[in-house]
Chains A and B, each alone.
Chain A
C-alpha cells in the first residue's frame, strides 16, 4: 500500500519502489563496491598519478618523456606489430572453422575440450613449453630437419617468432571458442531458406552466415587484440625482452618494479589503455557500418 507523509508527498522508499528500486536491489551493492574500489578507484588513482611526475616538470612531463624517448616510444609499434597480425590471423582462421562446426557434429565436444586446454594453461606454461619444444633440440626443429625442410635447426625462441607462436597457441582457441559459441546460436533455418532460394555455398556464406556471425567475430577480434596487446610473460620468456619484443607492458613493469617510478608506470599503463581503446573503437566503428540484426529467427 502506498501511503503519504503528513506533507502529502510520497515517501522516498515508495518513490524508489515505483522505479523498481527496493531493498533487493541493494544486494548488488557489495559487488559494485568491490569493483569500484579495486578497479575504478585504482584506475582513476593511476590516471591522477600519471600527471604528477616524480621529477617534476609540469603535469605532462611523463607523457612527453615517454613520447620523446625513442626506446620507450618504440614499445607501442613493437606491441602493435605482434598483437595486430596475431589477432587478425587468429580470427581469420577461426571464422571458416567455426562456420564448419556451427551445427552439432561428431567430435565437436572433443575438439572444443582440446581447445580449452591452452586457454586454461595460460601464457606462462605455453612459453615454458615453447622453450623446450621450439628450441634448437626440440621436437619441432627435429621434425623439420628429419623431413628435410631445413638443413640446420631454426632459431625460433628468444625472438619475435617465439612470442608470436605463444600468442597463436593461447589466442587461437580463445577466438575460435568465442566465434563458435556465437555461431552455434544462429538459426540454421536461415541458411536453409537461402539454399531453397538457390544460393550456392559460397553465396550463402558471404551473404547469410558471415553477416550473422559478425557480432561474434567483432567481439572475438576485440578480445583477441586486447589479450595479445597485453602480452607480458611470453614476451619475456620466449622473446627478446630488451630488443625486438620489448612490448609496452615490459616498459610499464620496468618503470614500476625496477625503477620504482610508479608515476611513470601509471603513465605507461594509461597509454596502453588508450591505444587499446583506440583500436577497439576502430573495430567497433567499422562494425557499425555493417549489418545489424537478429541472429536467431523470428519465432521468438
Chain B
C-alpha cells in the first residue's frame, strides 16, 4: 500500500539507500545507537543466566537458578497476577469509555469540539510524574490510592486519550453510508453500534488495546506513586528490587528484567502486525500542523 501511494508499479523493488559521505556518517551514528541498544539488552539477558560475570567478554558459567531465586524472593507470581489485572482492567475500561468518544470526535462537529480535543490532548503533553503527584495526593484523600483500584484509575489518565487519538482517524475512514444504510433498514443507534460499527472497528480496537497494554506495562511513574505494597506491577517491582533493603544478586534483578522484557515484547510483537512503528508514538501531527 505504501508502494502504491508512492506511485510505484507493483513488483518494482524499493530503491536502495544511496550513501554520500554525510549519509555514511548518519548510518554510522544510527549503527552505533542500534548496536549499543542491542548490546545493552543482550548483556541483561546474559547476566540473568550467568553463574558469575566479572570483567570478561562472556560469563564464566551458565545457570538458571536466578530465575527460581527471583520467583521466590520477589514474589514474581503475585506481581505477574497484579500486572495482568491492571493491564486487562485499563485496556477494557479505556476501550469501552474511549471508543464512543472517538466516534463522536470522528463523526460530529459541535460547539466546543476543539476544547474537548484539547482536554484529551493535555494528559499527553504533561509528563506522568508532574500530574502523578497531585493525582496520587487526591486519590489518597479519597482512600483510593494504595490499592489496585488506585493503580487502575491512575493508569486510565494516559491510556484513555491514547485510545481516543488512535481510534478517531480509524473511525473517520469507515464509510458513513454504511451507518446510514443500517438506519434506513430500521436499526436503532444501539444496533448500528453493536452490529455494524463494532465489527468494522475490531482491527482498530485490537491495535489500540494492544498499544495501551504495552504502555501500561511500561508505565512506571503513575503505578509507583499510587501502588501499595501488594499491588505493584512488574516494572515497579523491578525498580524496588534494585533499591529494596538487603543485598540482592545483580543476576536475580536481571532475571526479573528479562521476565519484564518478555511480557512487554509479546503484546508489542502482536501490535506490530497491525500498526506501523511510527504510529505507536503519539499521533499529534494532524493537530499540530493545523
Which residues of A are in contact with B by a Cβ distance under 8 Å? 19-21, 23-25, 27-28, 30-32, 34-36, 38-43, 45-47, 49, 93, 96-97, 100, 103-107, 109, 111-126, 128-133, 136-140, 142, 153, 169, 172, 174, 177-178, 180-182, 184-185, 188, 215-216, 218-219, 222-223, 226-227, 229-230, 232-233, 236-237, 249, 252-253, 256-257, 262, 265-266, 268-269, 272-273, 276, 280, 295
Contacts of A125 in B (CB 8 A): 44, 218, 235, 238, 257, 260-261
State whether A28 touches B138 (Cβ < 8 A).
no
Does B125 reach chain A (CB closer than 8 Å)?
yes
Known: A42-B137, A132-B47, A232-B221. A32 touches B116 (CB 8 A): yes
Query: Which residue of the partner chain A has the closest CB to B288?
Result: A219
Does B254 reach chain A (CB closer than 8 Å)?
yes
A32, A125, A153: most-surrounded residue (chain B CB, <10 A): A125
Does B43 reach chain A (CB closer than 8 Å)?
yes
Does B160 reach chain A (CB closer than 8 Å)?
yes
State whether B220 touches A122 (Cβ < 8 A).
yes
State whether A129 touches B40 (Cβ < 8 A).
yes
A39, A113, A185, A272: most-surrounded residue (chain B CB, <10 A): A39
Which residues of B are in contact with A by a Cβ distance under 8 Å? 2-3, 6, 13-17, 22-23, 26, 29-30, 33-34, 36-41, 43-44, 47, 53-55, 57, 97-98, 100-101, 103-105, 107-111, 116, 119-120, 122-123, 125-131, 133-141, 153-154, 156-157, 160-161, 164, 189, 214, 218-221, 224-225, 235, 238-239, 242-243, 250, 253-254, 257, 260-261, 264, 268, 272, 276-285, 288-289
Contacts of A266 in B (CB 8 A): 133-134, 137
Q: Tell me the number of A-to-B contacts counted with CB atoms below 8 Å.
A: 285
Contacts of B219 in A (CB 8 A): 122
State whether A181 touches B278 (Cβ < 8 A).
yes
Which 10 pairs from chain A and chain B are nearest by CB? A46-B134, A230-B127, A27-B100, A31-B101, A122-B218, A181-B278, A112-B277, A42-B138, A20-B110, A137-B55
State whether A100 touches B104 (Cβ < 8 A).
no
A106, A129, A257: most-surrounded residue (chain B CB, <10 A): A129
State whether A43 touches B136 (Cβ < 8 A).
no
Contacts of A256 in B (CB 8 A): 133, 136-137, 225
State whether A35 touches B133 (Cβ < 8 A).
no
State whether B130 touches A269 (Cβ < 8 A).
yes
Known: A24-B189, A35-B120, A177-B278. A100 touches B17 (CB 8 A): yes
CB < 8 Å neighbour of B125 from A131, A153, A180, A226: A226
Known: A45-B138, A125-B235. A269 touches B257 (CB 8 A): no
A232, B43: Cα distance in complex, Å? 23
Contacts of A262 in B (CB 8 A): 137, 140
A207, B36: Cα distance in complex, Å? 34
State whether B138 touches A41 (Cβ < 8 A).
yes
Contacts of A46 in B (CB 8 A): 133-134, 137-138
Chain B nearest Cβ from A259, distance in angstroms: 13
A215, B116: Cα distance in complex, Å? 22
State whether B129 touches A232 (Cβ < 8 A).
yes
Contacts of B272 in A (CB 8 A): 113, 116
CB < 8 Å neighbour of B235 from A40, A124, A139: A124
A118, B26: Cα distance in complex, Å? 19
A269, B108: Cα distance in complex, Å? 36
State whether A237 touches B130 (Cβ < 8 A).
no
CB < 8 Å neighbour of B97 from A30, A128, A180, A253: A30
Contacts of A252 in B (CB 8 A): 129, 133
Task: Give the secondary structure class of B's interface.
Answer: helix
Contacts of A227 in B (CB 8 A): 127
CB < 8 Å neighbour of A20 from B101, B109, B135, B221: B109
Known: A31-B100, A38-B153, A129-B40. A184 touches B257 (CB 8 A): no
Contacts of A177 in B (CB 8 A): 277-278, 280-281
Chain A nearest Cβ from B231, distance in angstroms: 16
Chain B nearest Cβ from A101, distance in angstroms: 8
State whether B44 touches A132 (Cβ < 8 A).
yes
14 A–B contacts, CB within 8 A, in A order: A35-B120, A35-B157, A46-B134, A105-B14, A125-B260, A130-B40, A132-B43, A133-B36, A142-B55, A188-B6, A216-B288, A226-B125, A253-B225, A256-B133
Contacts of B6 in A (CB 8 A): 103-104, 188
Contacts of A295 in B (CB 8 A): 289
State whether A139 touches B282 (Cβ < 8 A).
no
State whether B110 touches A120 (Cβ < 8 A).
no
A229, B128: Cα distance in complex, Å? 11
Contacts of A19 in B (CB 8 A): 110-111
Contacts of A229 in B (CB 8 A): 127
Contacts of A106 in B (CB 8 A): 13-17
